[in-house]
Structure 1
Amino acid sequence: MNVQETTLRNLSGDAEQLLLDRGSLFMQRTAAVAALAATEAEAVDREGRFPTSAIDAAREQKLLGMQIPVEFGGFGATIHDIADVCYTLGRACASTAMIFAIHQTQVACLVRHGRGNPYMEALMRRIAREQLLLASSTTEGQNGGNLRASAAAISRNDDGITLLREAAVMSYGAAADGLVTVARRASDAAASDQVLLALVKGDYSLKCTSGWEALGMRGTCSTGFELKVSCPTDRVFAEPYDRVNAQTMTPFAHLTWSSAWAGIAAAAVQRAHRFIRKAVRSAGGQTPPTAAHFTTAKMSLAKLRAVISANMNAFITHEYDERALSSLDFQSSITLLKVEASELAVETVMSAMRTCGLSGYRNDGEFSLSRHLRDVLSAPIMINNDRILANVATASLMSAVPTSLHD
């Protein structure tokens, strides 16, 4: 009996099916979650509440632990599988998709950098078994989303470590079962000398410091908290944060966020398509004057999907090649993916709205695109594109201009 046959024999029937036909079954499970997410999307937006039903459905479908390796009880989903889920959920409910994307980025840090640490391996098993939801706490004080500088530092004592952090924005922090956060290595360390911590309830407490009355992405409940940590030292990743950030956090975040935004854009284009078809039927076959905007919307959606796919393929090709992932070209490309994808997503939804005209502008009616536009407008602001462009300016100058189409 070969290794694969032995592995399959030792797995549950559910896990065995996923290994044999993983992509198809992931999509079936995602479709069930997306259907429920779509039914509560308007209420989640209107009431600014966490999408409890959709996330509970993701738990029931075992999607929160889909990325956990088989050896730790998960399904070993790839970044491609996860991005497809984000895209599908984005078409149904933007807040649900973004929560899922953020969670999977934190799980990726555990999967790719937590092996060898008994606590983190046990946490992976818990995520697979209990479908725990992990939040992220990287935005601090007034740093505007500068992930490579921390003000708060961990303190070490005989009982473990402590940390007091002003988490200015923490999406769904109150609803999460744990979180991943970054801090300075010590009080005398430089702001860029950072470590990453993986925490569960009991390791920390949260005190709400600000609310979340936002234009869009209202269901992410991205309130501010005072984060107070007291936990054992094994919650700290062994690898420095700069390596985790470059090899895992940035690629996973930008690929999953972009996929969620692409899902929002696709839903807007689909709605615009229905509007055009209905308008043509009503006008006896005559195409409405706004049809040109629909063509623009489809073109920008195609560009958006292509840029995500190109970066996805580049990451998958070099997924475990530390040198390639740290290269100037890859880091510039994966960083700028966030900028390009967010701008294209906004352009796509705007073109879809112009296709639908007043019907898209209204908050009511079957062709309303108000929620889609408000949600997608968060994309260029979430870690502001201006900050990203300023940070990569020097790196861009150091990168050679391609001499052919095939470079």
Structure 2
Amino acid sequence: MSTLALRTRRVAEIAALHADEVDREGRFPAEAVAALKAERLLGIQIPMQFGGESAGMSDIAEVCFALGQVCTAAAMVFAMHQIKVASLVTHGLDSDWHCSLMARIAEEQLLVASSTTEAGIGGDLRNSLCAVEADGEVFSLTKEASVISYGAHADLILATARRNPQAPTSDQVLVALMQDQITLTMTSRWDTLGMRGTCSDGFLLVARDVPLVQVLQKPFAEIAAQSMLASSHLLWSSVWFGIASFAVDRARAYVQGEARKKPGSVPPGALRLAEAANELQAMKGTVIAGLKRFEMAQGNVDDLSSIGFAVMLNNVKTTVSAMAVDIVQRALGIVGLAGYKNGTPFSLGRALRDVMSAPLMISNDRILANTANLLLVQKGGSQLMSA
């Protein structure tokens, strides 16, 4: 077993101990995040020259999958952190300040949060109402953030905003805001069906006298297309695969137990289990294919920005999120009341509630509408072994 796998397993063991409590109380998975820091997993994506491990997306996806099997909140916090780190790694290398920030993330195991959603834009992360208001070498920013996942627990937040007050809503930049440079006033509580431990409360975010060097100069449109959307869809999908795998494991244990009670007979749920396992395998193949396609495209800006690449990523997200919900529901049908009840060895309530968020995290309808527009201009023709 690799060093990364061993470290991940130790974190997963701690996360599993507190998962039910995190869900029940809707609290931040503090123990799991402390373990991630202790195992120095928050900085694995940072390039080696800045003290990280230069981990690839597949390595990070493996951690997301392992945590997704035991505590979805911890898995999603880790995934969202790494999504933001991907933006820094991909687009911050030409900025001395952002390079020093990457070194700090690796050394101090800083937790990075995201503020891309905003009141008044309907969940469209590619538009902002707030703006960077420069004054000499510093800037101010006021943002009505409808959601900042684990914002109150983060060491820094990467936030989107218009480039300046005169810029159109689509002319956005990404700014790094350290915890001591901002004030967060809670405007809404995260009281939800599932994913309760992500603590995705709403805040009024106010930053004053922040050095302008903390603004990434590349347009956010490029950051989103070349790193953020890809890492979001692939890492979230890895978390959902973890949830689905957990559910199938519980269904398998249940059916095996039924088989032991009546040797020589096939339990009624065995056929349904075979169907769920088949769908889980297809789901895994979709995630792996997406990861391989992404890693093949690394360093090729034209490929990363192509219509075909965007369609592929959209398809991974919509396909995997829908499959995850279906697989968990199938597993619940196999286990029956033993899965519906809390506190049994086959309980699936938390998994079902958490996985129901999958089609909603960037709405599948919104993504499918985007894919439909892309298909109107995409050229046809491909090969069996090409994306």
1:296–1:348: 8 Å Cα contact kept in structure 2?
Answer: no
Q: Which residue number corresponds to residue 315 of structure 2?
A: 336
The structural deviation recorded for 1:209 is 0.3
Write the letter of the residue equivalent to 2:73: S
- Among residues 345, 363, 381, which one is paired with 2:342 in the alignment? 363
Corresponding residue for 1:181? Answer: 159
SS at 1:161 equivalent: strand
Distance 1:322 1:116 in 2: 16
Greater Cα offset, 384-393 or 265-274: 384-393
Instruction: Give the secondary-structure state (helix, strand or coil) at the position aligned to 1:27.
Output: helix
Identify the residue that residue 360 of structure 2 maps to in structure 1: 381
Match in the other structure for 2:173: 195
1:121 aligns with 2:99: yes
- TM-superposed CA distance for 1:167, in Å, is 0.6
Note the C-alpha offset of 1:406.
4.3
Q: Please give the root-mean-square deviation of Cα atoms over the aligned residues, in Å.
A: 1.3
What is the aligned length? Answer: 385
The answer to whether the Cα contact below 8 Å between 1:169 and 1:224 also exists between their aligned partners in 2 is yes
Q: Is the 8 A contact 2:314 2:368 kept in 1?
A: no
Separation (CA, whole Å) in 2 of partners of 1:403 and 1:194: 34
Please give the residue correspondences for 1:17-28 in structure 2 after superposition, counting only pairs within 5 Å: 24-28=2-6
Q: CA deviation at 1:337?
A: 1.5
Once the two structures are overlaid, the 10-residue window that deviates more, 23-32 or 83-92, is 23-32
Please give the alpha-carbon distance, in whole angstroms, between the structure 2 residues aligned to 1:38 and 1:142: 38
Amino acid at match of 2:37: R
Code of the residue aligned with 1:166 in structure 2: it is E
The yes-or-no answer on 1:168 pairing with 2:168 is: no
Taking structure 1 as the reference length, the TM-score comes to 0.92
Q: Name the amino acid aligned to 2:94.
A: G
Measured after TM superposition, the shift of residue 92 of structure 1 is: 1.0
Alignment deviations for residues 310-369 of structure 1 (CA, whole Å, 9 cap, x no partner):
111111111110001111100111122211111011111111111111111112211010
Aligned-partner Cα distance in 2 for 1:155–1:289: 65
> Could you say what secondary structure the match of 1:195 adopts?
strand
Report the Cα distance in structure 2 between the residues aligned to 1:340 and 1:296, rounded to whole angstroms.
17
Unmatched segments (≥5 aa) in structure 2: none
Whether contact under 8 Å (1:164, 1:227) holds in the other structure is yes
* Equivalent runs, 1:293-304 vs 2, <5 Å: 293-304=272-283
Give the aligned partner of residue 216 of structure 2. 237
* CA distance, structure 1, for counterparts of residue 161 and residue 122 of structure 2: 15
Question: Is the aligned partner of 1:306 residue 2:252?
Answer: no
Q: Once the 2 structures are TM-superposed, how far is the Cα of residue 285 of structure 1 from its aligned partner?
A: 3.7
The question of whether the paired residues in 2 share the 8 Å contact of 1:144 and 1:383 is answered with no
Q: Counterpart of 2:50?
A: 72
> What are the ranges of 5 or more consecutive residues in structure 1 without an aligned counterpart?
1-22
Whole-angstrom distance in 2 between the partners of 1:108 and 1:208: 27
1:215 aligns with one of 193, 198, 203: 193
What whole-Å deviation, never above 9, does each CA across 1:158-180 have from its counterpart, x for those lacking one? 25111111110111000110111
| Displacement after TM superposition at 1:198 (Å) | 1.5
Q: Distance in 2 between matches of 1:345 and 1:208?
A: 32
Amino acid at match of 2:201: T
User: Scaled by the length of structure 2, what TM-score is found?
Assistant: 0.97
Deviations 1:204-262 (A, max 9, x none): 11100000111001100010000112211011102111111110001111111100110
Q: Using the alignment, how far apart are the partners of 1:142 and 1:103 within structure 2?
A: 25
